[in-house]
Each structure stands twice: as C-alpha cells, then as structure tokens.
Amino acid sequence: MNCDDIQNALYVYLDGEFAELEARDFERHVDACARCTKLMVREGRFLEAVRDAAPQDPAPAGLRDRLALAIDNAPSPLPATLPVAPRPRGWAFALAAAALVLVAVGLSVGTTASAENTVIDESVATHQKSLPMEVRGSHRNVSDFLQQNVPFAVDLPTFQDPTARLVGARLTRVHGREAVLLNYEVDGERMSVIQLAAETSVDDAEPAVQSKRGFDVWTFKRKGVLNSFVGRDARSVRRLVRAAYRR
Amino acid sequence: MIFQPKREKPSEEQSLREGFQREALPHMEALYNSALYMTRSPALAEDLVQETFLKAFRFWHRYEQNTNCKAWLFRILTNTFINKNRRKKRPTMSMDATERELSSALVADKSSFYDTPEKDYISKLFPEHVQKAIEALPENFRIPVVLADLQDFSYKEIADIMDCPVGTVMSRLFRGRKRLQEELFEYAVELGVIPASVARDDDGAVSLDAYRRSKKAAAG
Ligand SMILES: [Zn+2]
C-alpha cells in the first residue's frame, strides 16, 4: 500500500471493516509513514468527536404508548388464512398439469421443488384471473405504490424494449406469502410478473422455464426476489426474462 | 358465497403481538433518533417511526426470528423515508439554505471562540453544530453517515438497509464524512478536538491505537 491507498481506505480501516491481512498491510505502511500517521490520528479523532457529539435525542415521552396503542389496533399480522384444501376444480387442473410436465427443469431457487411448483401453479392461476390492478400507469407511480405497500425493495423490471409496457401492479399472495403482481403489455398480449421475497438470501438463480396450461412460466431469482414471468408468447417472454435478469 | 375460514387462533396472534412488543419495540429510540436526522423535524420523525412500526407489524410474519431485527426495522424506516421524500420534495428544506445557515452559525461561533481564553480546555464539539452539519448533508450521504456513525451498523448491514452494493456504501460514507469535515474541521482544531500537531501535514508520529481502542470499547 502507498499513501494514496491509505487515503482511500482510511475509513474502511477505522470502521474495522478490513480483513485481518489487509489491516496488517495498512498498518505496516502507516507505522512507517509519518504523514499517514498524522492523517490517521486526525481522521480518527475527528470521527470520534463527531460520534461523541452528535446528539441522540430521546423519543418523546408518549411515543412508546402511542405506538403500542397503534399496534394493538392494527389488524392481525398473520397471513390471511387461505383455504387449506384446494377447490376440486383447481386440484384436478393441477394434477392434469403435473401429468403433462414430464421433466421439471431444474429450478435451483433455494426453495423446495414442491414450493417452486406451487409458485408456478399459482403464478399461472393469477395470470389467468386477469385481476384488476391497484395502481396503473407510469413506472414511477408503480414503484411509489410498491415502496409504500411492500416493506422491501421490489425489483421492478424495466425494459428498453419498446413493445413491452408496464400496465400496473397489485398486491397478491402466492404460496401463502405476500407477493406483487405486475402486468405488462407485450405486443398487445398481457404478461404477468409475480415477485415475492425469496425465503433465504441465497444466490441469484438463472432463469429456467416450465410450461403450465399452455403458458411458459419462467422463474429466476435476483437480489433476493423470486420472479415468475407468465405469458402466451414464448419468444417475447423469454427475451424479457433475459433482459430482466441481466439488468 | 365463499366460505370465510376462521381467521386464526387468538393464542397464535397473541404470541405474534407479544413477540413484536418484545423484539421490535425496544429499537424505538434508535429509530426515532435516526428518523430525526433524516426528517429534521420531531413531528415528521414521529410519523416516520409510527409508519415504520405499523409496516413492520404488518409484515412481522416475514421477519425471521432471531435475525437482525434492528437492521430489518431500519430497512423499513429507510425505504419509507426515501420514498416519502421522493414523492413530495419540500421546497422549504432547500439544501443550499440549510448549508448557508449552517456556515454562518459556525462562523459566528468561531469568532467568539478566538476571544475565549479557556478554549484550550474545551475538547468536545458542540452537539448542535454536529447535528446541523449532519442534517445539512444531502440525503444520499446523510443516511449512511447516520447508520454508520450513530447506529454502528456494518457496511454490509447498511448495504442491506439501503439496498445498494457495499461499494456504494463505502463511497457515500467517504464523501459524507469528508463533507462533514469541510464544515467542522477548523472548528474542531480550534476547540482542540484535533490537536494542532496533527492538523496539518508535517512530521510527527502518533499512535493509532487510541482510536481503535475506543472503537472496540464502543462496540463491546
Ligand atoms: Zn503514507
């Protein structure tokens, strides 16, 4: 390391974010360099002084009680209970679909295979329902709506493709979990994108496809969000999946 | 008519509510304090904290038990704040105005300090100056500074909270702290917070241990 490296990495060092080895490298230079030693003392003292002096104002006296009351009055946080037994028609459908799919393409999305199948089934069902959107219009509107209503960042796909247009979004449930349904219009056809937070923060998973009830269902995982794309036109859906995954 | 299933056993809900009270509510002070730096207004900070807790409660079943609850709450707080701020920019809080106000306040104080014979004995920055300087930082820098320097979150945690790469956290923190220094440095030297001997590049060797020790002690 040279003086510039020290300059650039000084906070990483002071914040204790260096690995042991890098820290030793860092110290070796600083110990031997009077200029950097001064720099570090200066920066360290300053940072410490800011931390010491920055006021930590206590919350107003009644806030805790007001919060407790607001939470008492809030609806139950339990996921609304879905009917446990699938309705007969849906069940028959699922069986038929399962029989048709001979090979489930490897979906290493960090959930069990049956959970993935549930997600895929429910994605198709959701797509087929043509649910009304809760918010329509621009990317901005939709992303504001999502940020307000979903606690974590939804990975709203954007496409350079002029044939793909975001129509709107609504909250939904997939596999008993909070999910977001996004509708796009692609060459005049409706495409659904369903997103839910992945169960664990494992790595991204590449897009994989299955066909269900005449739809291609693509799933992939990106930034901790499980994505499922459903549409009729296999080619354009595949193109958009690629674009969304690589973004 | 669809059969409406019985919602849930009260005991299950009761234990969720109790878990929330036990795990989430104790972070109220930290959330409020940071909300104050973000919004710069006690009323808005209180609203932000309330909204954060209600949202957190709504999604409490998604919180994984015994993981980092504080970071989880801060993530909701930060997202809610950023989103609200983006929707309605408050013209009264122009950054330039705040910065001007801050500089003039500092200038006024500095001049009075030249006249104070006891200045050598004072070794602390004034809280209100530090607060103003932090509040004057642009949002992108202010949030990581608050999370790192006031809440002691690690880079990784801040990246998760702000939903950005660790590299972005590092560069924003770097620039945010440098800006704070521009505002407060001379004043810190005058107060003796930064010894004159290290204030400028010269010669002289001092040990780094003091700072690291204090950091370790604070962490422990
Ligand atoms: Zn050096």
Domain B104-219 classification at class level: mainly alpha
How is chain B split into domains, by residue range? 13-86, 104-219
Of B7, B149, B155, the CB nearest to A51: B149
Q: Per the domain annotation, does A190 fall within a domain?
A: yes
| Mean pLDDT of all residues in A101-109 | 33
Provide the 3-class DSSP secondary structure of residue A173.
Answer: strand
Provide the 3-class DSSP secondary structure of residue A161.
Answer: coil
Residues A119 and A229 in one domain: yes
- For the ranges A139-143, B26-30, B175-179, the lowest mean pLDDT is seen at A139-143
Of A17, A55, A83, the CB nearest to B5: A83
| Mean pLDDT of all residues in A223-246 | 86
At A51 the pLDDT is 92
Q: Per the domain annotation, does A22 fall within a domain?
A: yes
Provide the 3-class DSSP secondary structure of residue B200.
Answer: coil
Contact A45 B212 (CB under 8 A): no
Of B3, B50, B206, the CB nearest to A70: B50
Chain A residue whose CA is closest to B161: A152
**Measured in Å, how far apart are chain A's first and last C-alpha atoms?**
35
At A29 the pLDDT is 95
Number of Cβ within a 10 Å radius of residue B213: 11
pTM for the structure as a whole: 0.56
Confidence label for B202 from pLDDT (cuts 50, 70 and 90) = low
Residues A33 and A134 in one domain: no
Which domain does A149 fall in, by range? 115-245
What pLDDT digit, counting tens, does each position of B83-108 carry? Answer: 887 765 544 333 444 444 444 444 33
Whether A89 has a pLDDT exceeding 50, the answer reads: no
Burial of B109 (0-12, 13-18, 19+ CB in 10 A): middle
| Mean pLDDT of all residues in B203-209 | 41
| Mean pLDDT of all residues in B210-218 | 50
Q: Are A123 and A230 in contact (CB under 8 A)?
A: yes
At B23 the pLDDT is 92
At B218 the pLDDT is 55
Decide which of B117 and B177 is more confident.
B177
Chain A residue whose CA is closest to B132: A54
| Mean pLDDT of all residues in B137-147 | 96
Confidence label for A233 from pLDDT (cuts 50, 70 and 90) = confident
Question: How many domains is chain A built from?
Answer: 2
How far apart are the C-alpha atoms of A167 and A188, rounded to whole Å? 11
Percent share of chain A, pLDDT over 70 = 82
Residues A35 and A124 in one domain: no
A3 alpha carbon – ligand 1 mean position (Å): 4
At A146 the pLDDT is 83
Contact B194 A49 (CB under 8 A): yes
Of A17, A47, A67, the CB nearest to B28: A67
Residues A164 and A241 in one domain: yes
At B116 the pLDDT is 34
Residues A134 and A236 in one domain: yes
Q: Per the domain annotation, does A93 fall within a domain?
A: no
Question: DSSP characters for B41-84?
Answer: SHHHHHHHHHHHHHHHHHTGGGSPTTS-HHHHHHHHHHHHHHHH
Please indicate if any CB of chain A lies within 8 Å of the CB of B59: yes
Residues A48 and A125 in one domain: no
Please indicate if any CB of chain A lies within 8 Å of the CB of B134: yes
| Mean pLDDT of all residues in B77-81 | 93
At B98 the pLDDT is 42
Percent share of chain B, pLDDT over 70 = 69
Contact B61 A59 (CB under 8 A): no
- For the ranges A2-6, A114-118, B170-174, the lowest mean pLDDT is seen at A114-118
Whether B82 has a pLDDT exceeding 50, the answer reads: yes
Decide which of A160 and B128 is more confident.
B128
Q: Are A83 and A190 in contact (CB under 8 A)?
A: no
Chain A residue whose CA is closest to B52: A151
Question: DSSP characters for B83-106?
Answer: HHHHHS--GGG-HHHHHHHHHHHH
How far apart are the C-alpha atoms of A184 and A159, rounded to whole Å? 10
Residues A42 and A129 in one domain: no
Interface test with A, best of B27, B62, B171 (most A CBs within 10 A): B62
What pLDDT digit, counting tens, does each position of B18-49 carry? Answer: 889 999 999 999 999 999 999 999 999 999 99
- For the ranges A89-93, A215-219, B51-55, B212-216, the lowest mean pLDDT is seen at A89-93
| Mean pLDDT of all residues in B184-212 | 70
Please enumerate in sequence order all residues whose Cβ is within 8 A of that of A54, keeping only pairs 6 or more positions apart, or say none.
B127, B130, B131, B134, B149, B150
Contact B54 A71 (CB under 8 A): yes
| Mean pLDDT of all residues in A196-217 | 78
At B9 the pLDDT is 52
> Across A3-12, B112-121, B197-206, which has the greatest mean pLDDT?
A3-12
- For the ranges A129-133, B57-61, B156-160, the lowest mean pLDDT is seen at A129-133
Residues A27 and A132 in one domain: no
A33 alpha carbon – ligand 1 mean position (Å): 5
B residues 114..133 contacting A (CB < 8 A): 124-131
The pair of structure tokens assigned to B161 is: 């909270």
What pLDDT digit, counting tens, does each position of B53-73 carry? Answer: 999 998 888 888 778 999 999
Contact A35 B201 (CB under 8 A): yes
Whether B121 has a pLDDT exceeding 90, the answer reads: no
How far apart are the C-alpha atoms of A100 and B156, rounded to whole Å? 45
At B57 the pLDDT is 92
Residues A47 and A158 in one domain: no
How far apart are the C-alpha atoms of B108 and A225, rounded to whole Å? 52
B205 alpha carbon – ligand 1 mean position (Å): 12
Whether A80 has a pLDDT exceeding 80, the answer reads: no
Domain B13-86 classification at class level: mainly alpha
Confidence label for A199 from pLDDT (cuts 50, 70 and 90) = low
Strands across the sheet containing A205-212: A135-136, A164-174, A177-186, A189-197, A225-231, A215-222, A205-212
What residues sit around ligand 1, an ion, with C-beta below 5 angstroms?
A: A 3, 33, 36
Residues A43 and A150 in one domain: no
The pair of structure tokens assigned to B31 is: 């959330």
Number of Cβ within a 10 Å radius of residue A74: 16
ipTM of the complex: 0.72
Q: Are A169 and A142 in contact (CB under 8 A)?
A: yes
Q: Are A211 and A238 in contact (CB under 8 A)?
A: no
Of A41, A48, A57, the CB nearest to B206: A41
Of A92, A94, A113, the C-alpha closest to A104 is A113
Please indicate if any CB of chain A lies within 8 Å of the CB of B173: yes
Contact A46 B194 (CB under 8 A): yes
